[in-house]
Chains A and B, each alone.
Chain A
Amino acid sequence: MAQEATLIIETELPIAMTCADGTGIERGTILKLADPFTVSKAVALNDIPAGIAAGEKIASDGKTKIDVYRGGIFKVTASGTVTVGVPVVIATNAAGNDVQSAAVNAEQILGVPLETASDGETFLMELRPTYVNLA
């Protein structure tokens, strides 16, 4: 897939999370989280991050589980400038499978950049889905 999130260092194994049977998900897709324990392809800014697809889900293969990385070091693509150490979130144009720098007080953090990158560049990100309530 274009702009696939690529595993660089495997710090932990993926876990099985629930997904819809009817929709295909490619390996390396940034996933959003929904209730209960369900993932799907992220589509919009500040979607609740679930992780990154570790394997491919074939549409309508009768399975409702997909292997999901909840941690690790990945190569991902920047939408706009990202800065080392400043958390990133699922991007506005998440359909392109990229991420963007978190706004101040963002509550749905996907991970932390390990290097600075400009728009369209790839960079190393530590996947670390984090949820906080700042309101």
Chain B
Amino acid sequence: MADGNAQADIRGIDIDKLAKGFADEELVLKKFCNVSTTKAREIRWYQKTAGFLDSTDTTGITASQIANTSFKSRPVVVEQSWTRNTSYVRKYFVESPLISMEDIKDTDIDILATNVRDLVRAVSAQVDTRIYHVIVDQVTSVPFDGSTVTSNAATADGWDDAATGDPIKDLMLAKETIRNQRYNPEGAILYIHPTEHSHLLEFLISVKGSSIPQFASQKVQTGVVMEVLGLRVVVSANATTDYAVVFVPNRACTWKAFTPITSTVIDDPGIGKKIRVWEEGEAFLTDPHAVCGITDTVV
């Protein structure tokens, strides 16, 4: 039936073609890694034994034989040791379904470009997750469940425990732990989930604000902690809540790139296109003592 005024079928509509309803997470961990390339998928690397060299102890002699020795006598023999490690490159690989040339041509949103971008980000996100798992020594299910990285439980019931929680003490202990291993923790990264960031701010403003009024007032205005106790604060939803990690950037973790992130559009003439994205590499924790975890940060 033909329509006249006051009937819906002849009205125009406005289509907003800009996709909404999403926010992108920054993927930052790779830039805190020591990045280099690898020529082969099997990577052999050597870990030097941490600490200062000293003479070998016996049950009865534990004092250094390097120090204050006698004149005209032979010196004590001391040598460095290394641990041989092997890591294997991992492949991160994804593709789109075949997108028909008609869909590419007439869809309101740019499905080809959007899929290229988001598939690249999907691969990058998995690489970011892998680097995070390596830094926090997550071997099976939760951070620090491996046996390589030192972690300390948060004071009392964690950072949201206004009465007895003490994130400052926890962070200082993490710095101390790293410093005790001879690494410089100044300028280290504090990588936390937004939940921990929120609790840290609440602690600094609401719990300790009266002790540090100028600092607390500034935080009320800015709403962010960019740096605390000499640590650079990095907040990411990719971090696991209930944990915080402090690590020395460009030192603790290495990313070995075998194939950098690559995307290609495969053309099937007359039918459509398929997008394929891949990256190959592996992260490994060369300096586990340059990392310290804090567990149970939330009640």
> Could you tell me the distance in whole angstroms from the C-beta of B126 to the nearest C-beta in chain A?
16
Query: Can you name the residue of chain A whose Cβ is closest to the Cβ of B272?
Result: A13
Residues of chain A contacted by B274 (CB below 8 angstroms): 10
Interface status of B296 (Cβ within 8 A of chain A): no
- Which A residues, 1 to 52, have Cβ-Cβ distances below 8 Å to chain B? 7, 10, 13-14
Complex: A7 Cα to B274 Cα, angstroms: 14
Q: Does A80 contact B (CB under 8 A)?
A: no
B95 touches A10 (CB 8 A): yes
Across-interface contacts of A54 in B (CB, < 8 A) = 97
Question: Which size bracket describes the interface of A in this complex?
Answer: under 10
**Residue of B with least CB distance to A55:** B100
A8 to chain B, nearest CB (A): 10
Find residues 23-37 in chain B having any chain A CB closer than 8 Å to their own CB: none
Contact of B13 with A by CB under 8 A:
no
Q: Tell me which residues across on chain B come within 8 A of A14, comparing CB atoms.
A: 98
> Binary interface profile of B, 268-295, with partner A (CB < 8 Å = 1, else 0)?
1001001000000000000000000000
How far apart sit A14 and B249, CA to CA, in the bound complex (Å)?
A: 48
Write out the residue numbers on chain B whose beta carbons fall within 8 Å of the beta carbon of A55.
100
Q: Which B residues touch A10, using CB under 8 A? A: 95, 97-98, 274
A window 86-101: CB within 8 A of B: none
B window 202-247: CB within 8 A of A: none
How near does chain A come to B18, taking the closest CB pair, in angstroms? Answer: 23
Q: Chain A residues near B268 (CB, 8 Å)?
A: 13
CB closest residue in chain A, given B95: A10
Residue of B nearest to A8 (CB): B97
Whole-angstrom distance between the Cβ of B107 and the nearest chain A Cβ: 12
Give CA–CA (A84, B155) in the complex, Å: 47
CA distance A13 to B273 in the complex (A): 12
B271 x A13 contact (CB < 8 A) = yes
- In the assembly, what is the distance between CA of A10 and CA of B94, in Å? 11
Cβ–Cβ < 8 Å partners of B95 in chain A: 10
Determine the distance from Cα of A13 to Cα of B97 in the docked complex, in whole angstroms.
Answer: 9
Q: What is the distance, in angstroms, from A79's C-beta to the closest C-beta of chain B?
A: 25
Residues of A within 8 A of B97 (CB): 7, 10, 54
Chosen A-B contacts, 11 in total, with CB atoms closer than 8 Å, are: A7-B97, A10-B95, A10-B97, A10-B98, A10-B274, A13-B98, A13-B268, A13-B271, A14-B98, A54-B97, A55-B100
Question: Interface on B for A, CB 8 Å cutoff?
Answer: 95, 97-98, 100, 268, 271, 274
Please report A residues at the B interface, Cβ cutoff 8 Å: 7, 10, 13-14, 54-55
For the complex of A and B, list the 7 residue pairs with the smallest distance between their C-beta atoms, beginning with the closest: A7-B97, A10-B97, A13-B98, A10-B98, A55-B100, A13-B271, A10-B95
Q: A10-B95, A13-B268, A54-B97 are in contact. List 6 more A-B contacts (CB 8 A).
A: A10-B98, A10-B274, A13-B98, A13-B271, A14-B98, A55-B100
